[in-house]
Amino acid sequence: MTSSPLLLEKIPLFATVDVLVVGGGSAGCCAALAAAGEGAGAVLLIERYGFLGGTSTQMLDTFYGFFTPGEEPRKVVGGLPDTVVNALDAAGAVFLRPNTYGAGTGVNYNPERLKLVWDKLLATAGVRVLLHATLVAADQDAAGRIVGVVISTKSGFLRLNARRFIDASGDADLCHAAGVPLEKAGEREPAQTLTTTFRMSNVDLPAYAAAGGKRMLMERMAEAVERGAHGLPRKSGSLHEMNARGCISTVAVRVAEVDATDFEQLGAAEREGRRQAFVYEGFFRECVPGFGAANIVGLSHQIGVRETRRVYGEYRLTQEDCLSVARFDDRVLLCGAPIEDHRATKDGGAETVWGYVPGGQAYDVPYRTLVPRGRDELWVAGRCFSATHDAHASCRSMAQTMAMGQAAGTAAALSLTAKCGAREVSIPELQVRLRASGSTLEAPAQPAATGREEWAKNFPNN
């Protein structure tokens, strides 16, 4: 994935736009929505799969990060992420899931419905979306500034030119192609493990709850591992009720020590993830009350990848920033989510290491973490933003990745209006625009109501 002048000469130009967003995950969709909403002109988003949402629709069903964890949760994300939740609610496809595994109250949604919600929101905002379009190279001028990209499609290779670029590919594919300095997961710290999520139907949830629910599940898993039964890969794993009757979704499979930017390693991880999923199915059916007649009805679209490449930006968010509740003048979003590091153990198993932001507070995330060092035409949003391994393990929930997208898209629009580079965007103006569209830049004094059906009190656009 490098720029190649020889190749570029022969590739037809398909479109020229003002803002090009690479990747249609939670960050990329919000970046495109914000850029279009702030009057950036022609906004185009490319996505390698046939649907939008990235991890939000490929493998998950719960937004974390809207609420801080703990006894007195605060709602620390608003703006476009609220619009997404409200659109899901209008379709009856959302409820609040109480904090059962440490990350705080989650907003549970129907992921298939969310694909439609992303389609509709982007179409209404006038964003041009190219699905089945994979970025393969960057076109750079003599000064190294990105001026276009090459995409691979069923119709062949095509070129897209733009004035501003937002890399929301999760893997920082555009930055990688353009030679932007990056840290790859695993280089300094073990990369977070990968997970194939799976969904089971025909679960008797009352019977499961009556038998002890989560506590009982943990005991049964630990017993099975002690006995060497079923070949379970680890002693823990979580499941939760879905937005469909008698269905559950899991985060149980763990595949460790994978470089997910290496396609052969990723392919092997896909096969291992599927194998483990059906090991868990056998265990659930035989050992867990309520699951006797249940079976797998869906695996995630691909194995879930938590981290790959993170850019070196104008600022790098650190573990100390998270745990000292850092304040920054150029904040563009807040995060109170704990550090949640899924890592391999020496005995070949896997564990999750937690680190909580003190006092249930939320730290500031600075604008400079979205600007790759020294760049004027380029932003990053989502899980490839500028952070250390530990800080990334906190600031990667989807409420935060959506908020990053909103900030990057708004900044790109402002830079076009002001005819300035990413590093010169006026921070006061950016913060005014973000506040005007409902973004939260100060944590509320009052705790939020987080009962199962009380979500509407927290999402003011409703």
Query: Which lies closer to ligand FAD via its Cβ, residue 123 or residue 229?
Result: 123
Residue 65 binds ligand FAD (CB under 6 A): yes
Beta bridge partners of 249: 199, 240
CB 139 within 8 A of CB 3: yes
Residue 409 binds ligand FAD (CB under 6 A): no
Residues 6+ apart with CB under 8 A from 384: 167, 168, 169, 170, 171, 172, 175, 308, 309, 310, 311
Query: Which lies closer to ligand FAD via its Cβ, residue 78 or residue 419?
Result: 78
- Which of 17, 18, 24, 87 touches ligand FAD (CB under 6 A)? 24
CB 305, min distance to ligand FAD, A: 6
Residue 49 binds ligand FAD (CB under 6 A): yes
65: left (phi over 0), alpha (psi -120 to 50) or beta: left
Q: Which stretch binds ligand FAD (CB under 6 A): 54-62, 236-244, 410-418, 433-441?
A: 54-62
CB 194 within 8 A of CB 260: yes
Question: Distance between CA 178 and CA 147 in Å, rounded?
Answer: 10
Query: Which lies closer to ligand FAD via its Cβ, residue 227 or residue 265?
Result: 265
Query: Which lies closer to ligand FAD via its Cβ, residue 49 or residue 312?
Result: 49
CB 417, min distance to ligand FAD, A: 25
Tracing tokens 């705080």 back to the chain, one arrives at 104
Query: Which lies closer to ligand FAD via its Cβ, residue 111 or residue 382?
Result: 382
Q: Which stretch binds ligand FAD (CB under 6 A): 62-70, 79-87, 154-162, 308-316?
A: 62-70
Q: Which stretch binds ligand FAD (CB under 6 A): 49-57, 326-334, 357-365, 406-414?
A: 49-57
CB 114, min distance to ligand FAD, A: 12
Q: Which stretch binds ligand FAD (CB under 6 A): 60-68, 215-223, 255-263, 309-317?
A: 60-68
What tokens does 100 get? 């059962």
- Which of 20, 25, 43, 159 touches ligand FAD (CB under 6 A)? 25
Query: Which lies closer to ligand FAD via its Cβ, residue 387 or residue 422?
Result: 387
- Which of 20, 33, 36, 64 touches ligand FAD (CB under 6 A)? 64
Question: Distance between CA 418 and CA 250 in Å, rounded?
Answer: 47
Tracing tokens 């009982």 back to the chain, one arrives at 216
Residue 70 binds ligand FAD (CB under 6 A): no
Identify the three-state secondary structure at position 237: coil
Question: Distance between CA 330 and CA 286 in Å, rounded?
Answer: 54
CB 28, min distance to ligand FAD, A: 6
Site for ligand FAD in 227-266 (CB under 6 A): 251
CA distances from 92 to 65, 78, 148, 453 (A): 21, 20, 41, 11
Residue 332 binds ligand FAD (CB under 6 A): no
CB 80 within 8 A of CB 34: yes
Residue 195 binds ligand FAD (CB under 6 A): yes
Site for ligand FAD in 130-169 (CB under 6 A): 134-135, 168-169
- Which of 38, 171, 330, 390 touches ligand FAD (CB under 6 A)? 171
Question: Distance between CA 251 and CA 306 in Å, rounded?
Answer: 12
Query: Which lies closer to ligand FAD via its Cβ, residue 157 or residue 204?
Result: 157
Residue 305 binds ligand FAD (CB under 6 A): yes
Query: Which lies closer to ligand FAD via its Cβ, residue 327 or residue 452?
Result: 452
Residues 6+ apart with CB under 8 A from 380: 166, 167, 168, 172, 175, 311, 313, 370, 371, 372, 386, 408
Greatest CA separation for the chain: 67
SS (H, E, C) 198-231: EEEECCCHHHHHHCCHHHHHHHHHHHHHHHCCCC
CB 335, min distance to ligand FAD, A: 11
Question: Distance between CA 357 and CA 325 in Å, rounded?
Answer: 7
Residue 185 binds ligand FAD (CB under 6 A): no
Residue 431 binds ligand FAD (CB under 6 A): no
- Which of 60, 403, 416, 448 touches ligand FAD (CB under 6 A)? 60
Question: Distance between CA 431 and CA 261 in Å, rounded?
Answer: 35
Question: Distance between CA 237 and CA 288 in Å, rounded?
Answer: 13
What tokens does 368 get? 């400079």
Closest of 383, 386, 368 to residue 423, by C-alpha: 368
Residues in the interface with ligand FAD (CB under 6 A) total: 39
Residue 22 binds ligand FAD (CB under 6 A): yes
Residue 48 binds ligand FAD (CB under 6 A): yes
Residue 200 binds ligand FAD (CB under 6 A): no
Beta bridge partners of 97: 106
Site for ligand FAD in 354-393 (CB under 6 A): 382-383
Kindly list the residues in this chain that would bind ligand FAD in the complex (CB under 6 A): 22-28, 46-49, 54-56, 59-60, 62-65, 134-135, 168-171, 173, 195, 197, 251, 304-306, 382-383, 396-398, 401
